[in-house]
Amino acid sequence: LAGDIAALTDAIHVLINNAGGTRAKRIITPEGNEATFAGNHLGHFLLTKRLLPQLKAAAAASPQGTVRVLSTSSSGHSSSPVIDWDDLQQTRDWVSGKSYCLAKLCNILFTRELQRRLEADGIIAIAMQPGVVLSNFASHCTPEMKAYMLSLDGDTPDVTAQSMVWLAAGAAPDEVRGKYFEKCQAITPSDQALDENLAVRLWQESETLLAKAGH
């Protein structure tokens, strides 16, 4: 994907890491990673790193703070257990919902460390939670989670997208830099999500996992 995008343009002004979902059973990818962790966090991490040259090129030629990386998290991040660095991807004691909550915590930690690393380049990193969206999100959930999701009222994708567009292109830089949002309002994430040491460690561990996978 990064190669396809790079072939189309030398400059990227907005990258939205929005892919996500849960799994009904434990799946290990061909690269050796747990699928929920890989799809919700590690893929975003790799894609963003691969597109940094295009993001930095756009930032160098654009007003400060207009180039942005927006990552979709979830209120579920606050239910994530304490990160176990000896089993980061929870492969030993895998539970569908717990795995998803961990990945959503990783989205926020990634955003915070990305902001720190790209501050000097004038690039802004933002995380947001979309709330309940009436999409195909629950298609691969456990039956229990699928039933729960279907029981909730939610917004259509186009309504949720309005918040994403505002964060990506409408809000002033100081309103959004490194912050976490719900429906255009900055909110405070969990204590784990605010831990700078965890953000640095997650970045390092993610780099190690990519190296093992040949990236």
Pairing status of strand 180-182 against strand 123-129: parallel
State how far the Cα of 98 lies from the Cα of 26, in Å rounded to an integer: 12
148 flagged as catalytic: no
If DSSP codes are grouped into helix, strand and coil, which group holds residue 45? helix
List the structure tokens of 186: 């900055």
Close Cβ partners of 196 (under 8 Å, ≥ 6 residues apart): 112, 113, 116
Dist CA 76 CA 102 (whole Å): 8
Report the number of secondary-structure helices (H) and strands (E) in the chain.
9, 5
Give the DSSP per-residue string, 74-136: -GGGGGPPPP-GGGTT--SS--HHHHHHHHHHHHHHHHHHHHHHHGGGTEEEEEEE--SBSSS
**Catalytic one among 37, 45, 100, 181?**
100
What residues act catalytically? 100
